[in-house]
Amino acid sequence: MKGAARIFRTLVAVVAIGGVVPSTHESAAVPLVGPAGSSAPSLVIYFIDVEGGQSTLIVTPDRQAMLVDAGFPGNDDRDPKRIMTAIHDAGISRLDYLVLTHFHQDHIGGVPAIAAQIPIGAIVDHDVLFDSDRFTLAAFHAYEPVRSESRLIHPKAGDRLPLKGVELVVASASGQTLSRKLRGGGELNPSCTTFEKQAEDPGENAQSIGISLRYGSFRFLDLGDLNWNKLAQLVCPANLIGRVDVYLVSHHGNLDSNLPQLLAAVQPRVAVINNSPNKGGAPETLAALHRLQGLEGVWQLHRSVRQGSENFADEYVANLDGPDQAYWLKLTARRDGRFSIVNARTGFSGAYPMSHQPGR
Ligand SMILES: [Zn+2]
């Protein structure tokens, strides 16, 4: 727990609150950043617990909404229900975009139930299905009726999605990655001298749509389940991304996304891991984050029970037990780069002041 001292510097307050998915008592714990709905404009991101899949709800300062992925299918619509709870908490009645990073069931499984409950302006996906295992095929076939009735966007790396007040750039899509640096990127990455390529992944993960989101001085990076070789293309030999404030650790923190050259390049202030007790959150990934210089906080959607996993302190873990719990992590960011994250299980809040590092 070498990083504990650094992490606890950011501790603002601990507010004990009860109930499932609490969300209304957060403002007292977050003096730096106003909550969604307050007079101060803010970008809000919900990291929703879908048990090791992805679902990330982004609400812009202009109250546009983008959902990135929709969790697993089945389980009596467990994941769509959790996502709709977050959507209602955010006060959103329409999704401007539903971005599906790729077609695995832990990312598109909840789409039919979500689409039945809320209008969707456009669906963003990578177009061509790559995997043919039965789980992926079943999820894709369930998604197809929604897809055929939706406005579809198949972006290329480097494309922008129009959202007011924020800059959203597609960093990867359909197996391609950025060919030009983003603002703040372009420096040579010395750690690339030790990079070793792995066998190419012929499946869906390597097709993931990844996004870079900028709001004023604040930057967020979500690369879906992009893995080793494709991640390296973004940061070797030059770091095309630049530095980010918050990095949603790619592929749920699995070993094949634990690329040291990426962490060295984007130098996140905060990492968020969308793992479950047994999925993602690899011991090696957690260890790499414990060692990473300059990291101010790591937040996990679940405590990992994988052998050898050194979890971060419970305050930074949204869910300590199995799938009966469903607490989210909620991030609020201001234009000047200040941001906070609240653990909905406890109300514990971490506040991160303006960065003094150039180049974000
Ligand atoms: Zn996944």
- Looking at residue 124, the DSSP 8-state letter turns out to be E
Residue 350 CA, ligand 1 centroid: distance in Å: 26
- DSSP assignment letter at 57: E
CA–centroid distance for 134 within its chain:
26
> Pairing relation of β-strands 95-99 and 120-124?
parallel
Q: What pLDDT sits at residue 18?
A: 30
CA of 138 to the centre of ligand 1 (A): 15
**Could you tell me the domains of the chain?**
6-22+40-349 (3.60.15.10)
Taking the centre of ligand 1 as the mean of its atom positions, its distance from the CA of residue 106, in whole angstroms, is 5
Spacing, Cα 55 to ligand 1 middle (Å): 10
The pLDDT profile of the chain, 360 residues, written as one tens digit per residue, is 334 334 333 333 333 333 334 333 333 333 344 444 456 799 999 999 999 999 999 999 999 999 999 999 999 999 999 999 999 999 999 999 999 999 999 999 999 999 999 999 999 999 999 999 999 999 999 999 999 999 999 999 999 999 999 999 999 999 999 999 999 999 999 999 999 999 999 999 999 999 999 999 999 999 999 999 999 999 999 999 999 999 999 999 999 999 999 999 999 999 999 999 999 999 999 999 999 999 999 999 999 999 999 999 999 999 998 788 899 999 999 999 999 999 999 999 999 998 766 555
Ligand 1 centroid – CA 78 distance (Å): 17
Can you tell me which residue has the tokens 């404009």? 41
Distance, CA 244 to ligand 1 centroid (Å)?
A: 22
pLDDT attached to residue 323: 83
Ligand 1 centroid to residue 53 C-alpha, Å? 5
Distance 335 CA to ligand 1 centre (A): 30
Ligand 1 geometric centre to CA of 39 (Å): 36
- Cα 104 to middle of ligand 1, angstroms: 7
Q: What does the pLDDT read at residue 354?
A: 87
Residue 278, classed as helix, strand or coil, is: coil
pLDDT at 186: 97
Distance 129 CA to ligand 1 centre (A): 15
How far, in Å, is the centroid of ligand 1 from the Cα of 254?
9
The helix or strand, by DSSP H or E, that contains position 137, with its residue range, turns out to be helix 134-148
| 32 CA from centroid of ligand 1 (Å) | 33
Q: What is the pLDDT of residue 12?
A: 33
* Cα 132 to averaged position of ligand 1 atoms, centre (Å): 16
Q: In the numeric block, which tokens belong to residue 205? A: 């993960």
- Is the bond preceding 145 in cis, omega lying within 30 degrees of 0? no
Residue 229 · residue 63 · CB < 8 Å:
no
What pTM, to 2 d.p., does this model score?
A: 0.90
Chain CA centroid to CA 155, Å: 19
Write the Ramachandran bin of 272: left for phi over 0, alpha for psi from -120 to 50, otherwise beta: beta
